[in-house]
Amino acid sequence: MASISVFDVLGPNMIGPSSSHTAGASSIAFLAQKMAGGSIKAVVFTLYGSFAKTYHGHGTDKALLGGILGFRTDDKRIRDSFKIAADRGVKFEFVTNEIETDVHPNTVDIHIETEDGRVLDVRGESIGGGKCRIVKIDNVPVDFSGEYSAAIIVQKDMPGVIKHIAGAMSDRNINIAFMRLFREGKHGRAYTIVETDSSLPEELKEAIMQNKYVEDVMLVQI
């Protein structure tokens, strides 16, 4: 039988009534804004399942917007996230999708536009106890928990890229906890997600980008 900790039972330190609908939602959006890596000017949240049905009453909307603004789950500013977003000039919209049902019941798609022109689409699932996972990036299926700092590398699926990424990590004495490759198909677009035991220096991004098949590097510091 799988073991659980007391924190799985009690849930995280959080603002709001529900670990799944507030803390988990906030965590998804917090990771998404870390991945975007820039000043966000507009965001659209598409809600599925129970998120779509109860997001007003459970404060899921405030939690998602708070996460996009960079607030952690216990930040009291989440309660005022609508006003804070308006004050910062961040445009936001909530859309419900009750037609597509073949998804986790606590699922959200987040479409982000940044001030520097970056567009990012992220799908996340709130899986209970305040935990979440990212399951799609720009429509490519992935699996990323956000429990570790991570480098997310967008690349062409070609020989030598993984070796280059691992070498850049090793050169900086970074210990890899998990390393996974997700791809559209052979020699197509791929994502390598490297979760690490320590924070990641900004110079790592430049080092990984030196490979000609690497398109982008997102550093997510936890």
Binning pLDDT at 50, 70 and 90, where does residue 74 land?
Answer: confident
Contacts of 212 (CB under 8 A, 6+ apart): none
Point out the domain boundary residue: 128, 144, 160.
Answer: 144
**Number of alpha carbons in the 13 Å side-chain half-sphere of residue 32:** 38
Per-residue confidence (pLDDT) for residue 19, from 0 to 100:
52
Q: Given 97, 123, 144, which residue is the final one in a domain?
A: 144
Q: Where is 143: in which H helix or E strand?
A: strand 140-144
pTM of the model: 0.86
Q: What is the DSSP letter of 108?
A: E
Residue 4, domain member (yes or no): no
Tell me if 5 is assigned to some domain.
no
Block residue for tokens 């035991």: 197
18, part of any domain: yes
pLDDT in tens, 2-43: 444 434 433 444 444 455 558 899 999 999 999 998 899 999
**% of the chain exceeding 90 in pLDDT:** 72
Check whether residue 99 and residue 160 sit in a common domain. no
Boundaries of domain holding 115:
10-144
- The CATH number that applies at residue 16 is 3.30.1330.90
The reported pLDDT for the residue numbered 1 is 45
- Pair (65, 155) in one structural domain: no
What pLDDT score was predicted for residue 57? Answer: 75
Task: Specify the DSSP class assigned to residue 178.
Answer: E
Phi, psi of 73 (to 5 degrees): -60, -25
What's the pLDDT score for residue 187?
87
The total number of structural domains that make up the chain = 2
Cα torsion through 81, 82, 87, 89, rounded to 10: 110
The Cα 184–Cα 209 span in angstroms is 20
Residue range 159-218, pLDDT digits in tens? 999 999 999 999 999 999 999 999 988 889 999 999 999 999 999 999 999 999 999 999
pLDDT at 14: 46
Instruction: Provide the pLDDT for residue 20.
Output: 55
| Cβ-contact 35, 120 below 8 angstroms | yes
Q: What is the pLDDT of residues 85-116, one digit of tens each?
A: 999 999 999 999 989 888 998 999 999 999 99
